[in-house]
Chain A
């Protein structure tokens, strides 16, 4: 009778078919999946580079080293394979946390209005006015960001205000919809109205928010690493940072050491954005039912 009867798999396959309707979105999904596999499964298959090989420093791409080698003679391709995990984990975690906080704040603020709204929006505005990245840098030097989880939480704390305002305006416009008014008349309760009446009609928006916060997280992360504030790991950001520090921009042979990590980061961002093109297909009920 209700959708609960359908199995998980039929829904998943159906969703996949819907995504496939938009070619760009499908490509985006494939790329994201590829990068995820590369970064999480790859390291299990390919042993990491643990030592320096002084005999092959800064070699340009060749048959043996497809992406060339870096300033320590390590194979760039292997480095890229091992360097994605941290970046992706931070991106996903920070993205999800940011989205959760901003959706919660934005929808509660818009739904209840009045003083709650004023209060929350004042906090948001103050937060927005602070130059976040600078504060992030300063705080990062004071507090040791020991692991990726702390970094993700940090990024989320600084990232939610921008999205909260957007979510709030979406909810405000949904609040005027007649089916929301009907739900109020039927006394269905604030939780139900926000979670079941409004959110499903905002999924498109929320997913965009998620993707935006993920790309922002990657930028922030790369920036922090570049500034040397985040002392750990051997990820794409670090690769880029070190290559730059070792003057790779002056050495044509070492170009690959800069381009490889940069390319990986850009590819990930791009594939996320491409994937978002398919969101309309998944979340619009009209398109879902194939009308």
Chain B
């Protein structure tokens, strides 16, 4: 049970997670699916980064890749995943890709926990919640018996669940929102320094979503962990993220703090995405779709993968894939036209 009074992300200490040039491929009958192409980002201590993208963006693949939970037909072809644990002033580095099976099991859950959508099948339906916690704790040689129950009940309290009642329940006796919270508590059980949430609020009711979001905000103040959450829902980024990584066709196309993402985005895709989502206060004329659809990850176009849908695309965009440009030191955008993008698209998607 650790607590950090320091809410600011400490830039002075080394990042908790460094992902460099990650390339992940799936083998499908038709060919190789390039779900992750050169993904790079850092996650500072205590920071929350949102991986925002649509279908085929590679966001879930990236999350699974970090904990090496990729399915059998997928492989990390290239890249580096370095995890740094800070304990008592000392930093221990782990090369996640180099871990063997036993070390990997230790890494997963104790250092880095991944929480999926709370479908009923995320649980063993014939075991009580207490038993499932027991199983996880036992598998990692963690607390037992009374001590385990104490810790679990404490976590249930933090995630706003009725502790005793949930401890004794079977999964089907709990609502979707409650199950999601149990999964988050389970994720936090072994005090990981990195938590990855995959679509934590999808398929949940509005009021339940609100509860979970508020609970996550409180958790971040009380406990000390870094957070990556994966979603297609921009509003989640508004609520929870410090920084936002926008993903498209297997790559991060823009990475900057949340304020810049919404107020001053540089990449046309980000601009288009934000304009495509209606808000409660927006005027209907200000909302426009992005024409076309995401590319086929097996058969990607040359150059910038967004160019078929981008009104600013020129010859260079069509032939040369952009590297990461830096509008500011803490703002990255993979676009040749970032300087003029925002202005050119201010009047709408049609130029």
Residues of A in contact with B (beta carbons under 8 Å apart): 290-291
Closest Cβ of chain A: how far from B33's Cβ, in Å? 12
Residues of chain B whose beta carbon lies under 8 Å from any beta carbon of chain A:
29-30
Q: Distance in Å from the Cβ of B290 to the closest Cβ of chain A? A: 25
Leading 3 A-B pairs by shortest Cβ distance? A291-B30, A291-B29, A290-B29
CA distance A290 to B30 in the complex (A): 8
Min C-beta distance of A254 to chain B, whole Å: 52
In the assembled complex, the Cα of A290 lies from the Cα of B28 at a distance in Å of 11
Task: Give chain A's interface secondary structure class.
Answer: loop
> What residues of B have a CB within 8 angstroms of the CB of A290 in the complex?
29-30
Which residue of chain A lies nearest to B30 when distances are taken between CB atoms in the complex?
A291
Question: What chain A residues lie within 8 Å of B30 (beta carbons)?
Answer: 290-291
Q: With A and B bound together, what is the CA distance between A291 and B29 in angstroms?
A: 7
Q: How far is the CB of B345 from chain A (nearest CB, A)?
A: 35
Chain B residues with CB below 8 A from A291, complex form: 29-30
Distance (whole angstroms) from the CB of B26 to the closest CB of chain A: 14
Cβ contacts under 8 Å, B29 to chain A: 290-291
- Can you list 4 pairs linking A and B with CB atoms under 8 Å apart? A290-B29, A290-B30, A291-B29, A291-B30
Complex alpha-carbon distance, A291 and B30, angstroms: 6
Given the complex of chains A and B, what is the CA–CA distance between A239 and B136 in angstroms? 62
With CB as the reference atom, state the residue of chain A lying closest to B28: A291
Report the separation of the CA atoms of residues A291 and B296 in the bound assembly, to the nearest whole angstrom.
12
A291–B299 alpha-carbon span in the complex (Å): 13
Least CB distance, B196 to chain A, in whole angstroms: 31
Q: How far is the CA of A208 from the CA of B30 in the complex (A)?
A: 28
The minimal Cβ–Cβ distance linking A25 to chain B, given in whole angstroms, is 17
Give the residue name and chain of the B residue nearest to A286 (CB): B29
Please, how many angstroms separate the alpha-carbon atoms of A236 and B311 in the complex? 75
Q: Give the distance to chain A from B299, nearest Cβ to Cβ, in Å.
A: 12
Distance in angstroms from A44 CB to nearest chain B CB is 43
Query: Closest approach, in angstroms, between the C-beta of A111 and any C-beta of chain B?
Result: 30
Closest to A291 in B: B30
Give the distance to chain A from B15, nearest Cβ to Cβ, in Å.
40
Distance of B297 from chain A, by nearest CB (Å): 13
| B27 CB to nearest chain A CB (Å) | 14
